Amino acid sequence: VIAAGSTGSRGATKDFLRAVSRLPQGAVILPGFDFDMPAKVWRELFKAGEAGALGAEDHAQFRFVKLLASLEMEPGEVRLWADDSPPNARRNAFVSLALRPAPITDQWQQEGPSFGGVDTVTREMSLIEAPSPRAEALAIALVLREAAARGEEAALITPDRRLTRQVTAALDRWRIEPDDSAGLPLPLSPPGRLLRHIAELSGAKLTGADLLALLKHPLANTGSDARGDHLRHTRDLELDVLREGMAWVTTGALDAWAQKRPDRGAWAHWVNSIIRDLAETGTRALAEHVDHTLALAERLAAGPDGKGSGALWDKEAGREARRICDELVREAPHGGDFAPSDYRDLFVSVLNRGEVRDPVQPHPGVRIWGTLEARVQGVDLVILAGLNEGSWPETPPPDPWMNRKMRAEAGLLLPERRIGLSAHDFQQAIAAKSVVLSRSVRDEESQTVPSRWINRLTNLMKGMSAEGERALEGMRERGAYWLALAGALEAADPVAPAPRPSPQPPVTARPTQLSVTQITKLVRDPYAIYANKILRLRPLNPLAQTPDASWRGTILHRIMERFVAETPPEEAPADGKARLMALAGE
């Protein structure tokens, strides 16, 4: 019996490995065991483990300390199980030195200056420090493209799924489809987006933006031959919403819009039926919620004249969505009653369990792995990306109830445990033949903090001899090469600024009178008067109009105008108040 590839990080797994190790023909093969770490460092880790030190769990080899203690073995008793040499033994020793436990990093000063061959360590290493996540993704895509052109196998390893999607989009420029081990999350696929949107809108007030998002969905009205008419009506409705500033979509407003043209009647009736069903709210059984969501999605996909469910359940994503929904339908009778808000959260969380693999044959030499998949696979070139604190390693979730000491005393797992596992993944991945380390200096909001492992490597190299400084500079120069290529790829040709507008309309088209405020605007911004008075351009309202002071004032004026115009002379004050409130409610 051979048990391979596990660190025994969980109690049940540790017990299983101990049982296998005691079999007459049992063997336990440990992944990423550090043979370069001195015995005295192992002893320090063993002492920290026995004393229950909270700061030792984040070390890459700490799980082996727990496992070896369970097996009643010393680190020196662990033997190499294969005769193959590692791609770069000196790099393994250097990374081992860089990842020493925090209390004994003073050993850097003792061993760092005497560590020779740093140029050998970093010869096939690059460090990309991109100014933004977009630049990082494009630089990584260029590295993968060149590797594919040379016929090498390359893999991007990162826990940052947003970054992997950006890299995939950048590779599409060269028609390269990477083999992504995680696939596409179901809620991001077309059927998943439609189902999620319907669930989120059920029972909520419908804005113009919400309705148009449903009608513009690529699966809407795919069950009939009138998809073109559907898109034309959707465009006309969007223009009307923008011009009229429709804050909330109602069936009455849509009927009024449909009466402007006779060919809109059937389509508007279909849309109104969807609006009415979306407005149905209230606490009800989970099975009823699910049936309601699926029925609405199928009607929206079928169209006003279509049958069935259109293209909703077609292709791989549709079949996966159907499978997830069927599973929820089977279990729904045991779910009890749900309020609309609770149902929305449950439905989205169930969709998040699904993943979709692209049916297109991926490129055989370009792969995207998570840290879990990278533990048991290897390629010629490895790109470790997203190396920022909070991304790799991820920030441990805060525990509002128990601090670390209380969790340790209760026998619960510490947050540092996951950091230690991430450190072990990093230590294994950086042992590849060629390695690119990548991070972005800024994200969408602020400066980022380099991953603690990047900091350890760079600080160790800076504190070594001049050879270490040169090696680090070489890594950065090789990374800057890819950033320069990415910048050149997206560089735009300079565009000469347009000349200042100087319209000269004929006298007959010029306005004959202007208000006092417009005279001021004519002096300050004459082109605004030209656009308003001569071209007769009017700004469109936003789809999601915010109820600012101007908007509220307009609504109040319309309410009072209708109230005064429709007030009969003999109406009593009490009846007038009720009618005024009814008008405001409309």
**Cα angle vertex 255, ends 250, 256, to 5°?**
100
What does the chain come to in residues?
Answer: 586
Task: State the Cα–Cα distance between residues 370 and 155, nearest whole angstrom.
Answer: 10
Tokens 């000063």 sit on residue: 109
**End-to-end CA separation in angstroms for the chain:** 75
Sheet holding 434-440, edge to edge: 125-130, 434-440, 381-384, 154-157, 366-369, 179-180
Indicate the fold that domain 118-157+366-397+413-490 takes in CATH: Rossmann fold (3.40.50)
For residues 41 and 39, give the distance between their C-alpha atoms in angstroms, rounded to a whole number.
5
Give yes or no for a contact between 211 and 249, defined as CB atoms under 8 angstroms apart.
yes
What does each of the 586 residues of the chain score in pLDDT, given as a tens digit?
999 988 888 888 989 999 999 999 999 999 999 999 998 889 888 887 776 666 678 889 988 988 998 888 899 899 988 888 888 889 999 999 999 988 888 888 888 887 878 888 898 999 999 999 999 999 999 999 999 999 999 999 999 999 999 999 999 999 999 998 888 888 989 999 999 999 988 888 888 888 899 999 999 998 888 888 899 999 998 888 888 766 677 888 888 888 888 888 888 899 888 888 888 778 888 888 889 999 999 999 998 887 788 888 988 889 999 999 999 989 888 888 888 888 889 999 999 888 887 767 889 999 999 988 888 888 989 999 999 999 999 888 887 888 878 887 787 778 888 898 999 999 999 999 999 999 999 998 889 999 999 999 999 998 887 888 999 999 999 999 999 999 999 888 889 998 887 888 898 888 888 888 889 888 888 888 899 899 988 887 777 666 677 778 888 888 888 888 887 777 767 677 888 888 887 7
> What is the model's pLDDT at position 107?
84
What distance separates the 2 farthest-apart alpha carbons in the chain? 105
pLDDT score recorded for residue 171: 95
Helix crossing, 452-462 with 89-98: angle to 10°? 100
pLDDT digits (tens, 9 = 90+) for 229-271: 899 999 998 888 888 766 677 888 888 888 888 888 888 899 8
- Closest to 29 (Cα-Cα) out of 74, 87, 76, 82: 82
Token pair of 387 as six digits: 């190396």
- What's the pTM? 0.78
Closest CA to 299 of 309, 291, 289: 309
The 10 Å CB-count burial string (b at 16+, else e) for 105-135 is eeebeeebeebeebeebbbbbbbbbbeebbb
Which pLDDT does position 55 carry in this prediction?
65
pLDDT given at position 158? 95
Residue by residue, DSSP assigns 317-351 as: HHHHHHHHHHHHHHHGGGS-EE-HHHHHHHHHHHH
